[in-house]
Structure 1
Amino acid sequence: MRRASNLRFEISKTGNLLGTRIPLVSLRQTLAVAQYLSFRQAAIALGISQSSVSERIKMLEADLGIMLFERNTRGVRLTEAGRRFVTEVERAMRILDRAVKTAGMHARGEQGLLRVGVYALIAGGFLDTLLEHFHARHEHVALEITESTALDAQLQVRDDQLDIAFMGRSHDIPDLNSRVIWRDRLMAVMPASHALAAREHIEWKDLARETFIVREAGTGPQVHDLIVVRSAGQWPVPTIRRFDIGRSALLSMIAKGHGLSLLVEENVATAPPGVAFRPIVDEPESIAFMAVWSPRNHNPALQNLLGLARALGRASPPS
């Protein structure tokens, strides 16, 4: 509390917040004397001279116009006015200390709210691990998680509805800050009974006549666009059916033979029985996942999450 020692309270002789200016250090020394009932012991505890403590208490009593302590040869004891004064000062000091601590925690990003947009949360996946580590390190920061498409997430970041969003993209967004955090391998997902599941790997041309099912939310729109781009100039665009469902429902539909889809490799660990994942060998590159945030956002918890994301991203082996 050294940096707070120059604060001063406005206190009048009647106890109102008016008039005489009382240094905070005088109040702390008063509490020390009240605790030890000894100017000498209070001075030792505070690491200052006894004469300094005695002089400050006398000045405080003069400013207040009341006697806080009765002094005699046997020691010191609080007057009734002093006891009431010390009780209120102790309460005020607890409030002040809590205010200083809370402000410091907010400034360091150790307390507050962080609104995070995700394309999905996969148990054991990168995002799940990142948020778990962040919560363990910053337990007083509340995480508010929203799942949405990349386009919706960008709009929410711009409108200050999200502090940060994670999405599968690899190009810059002009008015937002962005950084690729990790990459993952693209996989074709199919029923385990499908003929392609008997192969160790497949090519894009093998998927030309298949029916794809994709989600309306999450990375669904990006999966749709990728299928269209990879088909362009090569073969007719496959049939693509879009459903407003979650990831688990999508995998269940695939297992029951409703179609194929595309997911990254981190989904393999939580896939239900009856689903097969196969790498696409002629996919030119792994899928980049990036963090996106507003340059106007100065939430310190955001910087803490970004720092942790970079550290975990570097620790993850490239796909």
Structure 2
Amino acid sequence: MSYFLTVAEAGSFHRAAAALDIGQSAISRRIQKLEDTLGVSLFERRPSGARLTVAGECFALRARLIMDEVNFAVDAARSAGIAKNGHLQIGIIASLSAGPIRTLLQRFVERHPQVEICLLETDRSELMTMLSHRRIDLVCVSGEPDYDDFDKLILAKEHVFLGVASDHPLAIQTALAWSTLSGQRFIVSAREPGPEIHDYVIRQLSDLGRSVKVRRHRLGREGIMSLVGLGLGVSLVTDHWRGLSYPNVTFVPIRDEADQIPFSLVWRPENDNPALRRFISLARIEAKKNGDPS
């Protein structure tokens, strides 16, 4: 069909052959075969060139429309293949106010602005269920998830901070040790990542043989920080939570340098979404920058 359109545009088999850089006889054979298949003559062949017949004009009109659609489809497929467009659906259990996940998303958007990104925040179990059924492409979670059926990448490890009311005695400290926190009332969310913070606090203080007071509230991170600011307790955060300021809340680092919480990416290995593959490639580069070559 492309040969036919080239001859129609050039008005000559000779000029079409020169434009396509092939022999004129090859074009003539292709056009003759097409005419035999259609059962009509498409060109009036003259010494001065080739002129479309009435049937040829009708065929050329339809052929151009078809070729335009084919070219559009090819361009769309190639663009998706290099993540120029397409979709990427990401489940998160983290704040995007700061930290490695925000940095990764920002750099991906800068490189692939035409990729439509959809973010979803909910409980870990629901996100993993959605990932299993390919309803989302990727999940960003805290910790080092142990899922045999998924690919995983530790993006970064973040230091732990204690969120306290700004008028709390601990707020003036430059750093804190776990041994000084046993008498504090910790408040966490009943939703993600609250349960994980709860387990982390229990583990740290129980190892020291200290009593632990933890209260759960059915609030998101904003609500928990509001309770901290009101002096109703303290709570743990990592670096990426500190991108936002909360009324009357101060963040004090935990002294132990070994206290770092990893943040990981999880995805299905058979997912061939080109946008996902580009995202993972960029994530591996960011992970190396963050000091974790895994």
Tell me if both proteins adopt one fold, taking TM over 0.5 as the criterion: yes
The 8 Å contact of residues 117 and 162 in structure 1, kept in 2 or not, is answered as yes
Alignment of structure 1 residues 189-228 onto 2, 5 Å: 189-228=163-202
Greater relative CO, 1 or 2 (CA 8 Å, sep 6+): 2
The answer to whether residue 64 in structure 2 is matched with residue 70 in structure 1 is no
Deviations 1:53-85 (A, max 9, x none): 233323322332222122334433222211110
Deviations 1:269-308 (A, max 9, x none): 3223522111111363311111122344343332222111
- In structure 1, the residue matched to 2:126 is 152
Count of residue correspondences:
292
Say which is worse superposed, 84-93 or 229-238, in terms of deviation: 229-238
By how many angstroms is 1:107 displaced? 4.9
Alignment of structure 1 residues 25-36 onto 2, 5 Å: 27-36=1-10
The answer to whether residue 268 in structure 2 is matched with residue 299 in structure 1 is no
* Residue type of the alignment partner of 2:267: W
By how many angstroms is 1:140 displaced? 4.3
By how many angstroms is 1:311 displaced? 0.9
- In structure 1, the residue matched to 2:13 is 39
TM-score of the aligned structures, taking structure 1 as reference length: 0.82
CA distance in structure 1 between the aligned counterparts of 2:261 and 2:170, rounded to whole angstroms? 22
* Residue type of the alignment partner of 1:117: G
- In structure 2, the residue matched to 1:8 is none
| Cα 1:159/1:77, change in 2 over 3 Å | closer
By how many angstroms is 1:195 displaced? 0.6
Alignment of structure 1 residues 1-319 onto 2, 5 Å: 27-108=1-82, 110-170=84-144, 172-282=146-256, 284-316=258-290
Say which is worse superposed, 99-108 or 277-286, in terms of deviation: 99-108
By how many angstroms is 1:234 displaced? 2.8
The 8 Å contact of residues 155 and 287 in structure 2, kept in 1 or not, is answered as yes
By how many angstroms is 1:236 displaced? 4.3
1:240 partner SS: strand
- In structure 2, the residue matched to 1:15 is none
By how many angstroms is 1:152 displaced? 3.5
Say which is worse superposed, 297-306 or 32-41, in terms of deviation: 297-306
TM-score of the aligned structures, taking structure 2 as reference length: 0.88
What's the C-alpha RMSD, in Å, of the aligned pairs? 2.4
Deviations 1:73-108 (A, max 9, x none): 443322221111011111111222233333444555
1:202 partner SS: coil
Which ranges of structure 1 fall in alignment gaps of 5 or more residues?
A: 1-26
